[in-house]
Amino acid sequence: MVIEPKKVVLVHYTLTESTADGQQIESTNGGEPLGFIFGVGMMIPDFESNLLGLKAGDTFAFGIKAANAYGEYDESALVEVPKNMFESDGKIPDGLLEVGRVLPLTDQQGNHFQGTVAWVGLEKVKLDFNHPMAGVDLFFSGQVEQVRDADPMELEHGHVHGSGGHHH
């Protein structure tokens, strides 16, 4: 069975920065494979296009430019906000505003998003709203472990159940 839309795909992969010899970002080797339903928008489109037509046992190795992955780094996504907006009962909780910490935030319309603390000043905080992988060229290498039909419940829920997927 080959990888095509509405198939469940399980892959083991190693993700490195820029090239196969780049700094390792993450790997599923030694753990659960990544499981996803092909063609339903769960994965980076260029990731899927490089797997299309492969079958269980096939290996892969390909790069994806930052612009086609998580986007180029956008300086305008760095935003200064008043430090006092993080106060609770008149003080900022200890450890909350540490550089590199990812904060869950909600805007005035109730939308949820994340910002990374980039800089902390006396009265202001600079938050980075870029994706953590923005501006990074990616290189994936690995092997297709399994390809199977997605069952109706998986298609309805939009994710894989069981090994490599979501457990209800």
pLDDT at residue 163 tops 90 = no
**Residue 165: pLDDT band by 50, 70, 90 thresholds?**
low
Model pLDDT for residues 25-75, shown as the tens digit of each residue: 999 999 999 999 999 999 999 999 999 999 999 999 999 999 999 999 999
Strand order in the sheet with 112-120: 78-82, 124-128, 112-120, 102-106
Give phi and psi for 154, each to the nearest 5.
-65, -45
Percent of the chain at pLDDT above 70? 96
CB-based contacts of 49, cutoff 8 Å, min separation 6: none
Number of CB atoms found within 10 A of residue 83's CB: 15
**Residue 11: pLDDT band by 50, 70, 90 thresholds?**
very high
Nearest CA-CA partner of 71 in 158, 142, 136: 136
Domains and CATH numbers, the chain: 7-70+133-157 (3.10.50.40), 75-128 (2.40.10.330)
Amino acid 167: pLDDT = 47
Amino acid 145: pLDDT = 97
Three-class secondary structure of residue 14 per DSSP: strand
Three-class secondary structure of residue 96 per DSSP: coil
Model pLDDT for residues 81-121, shown as the tens digit of each residue: 999 999 999 899 999 999 999 999 988 899 999 999 999 99
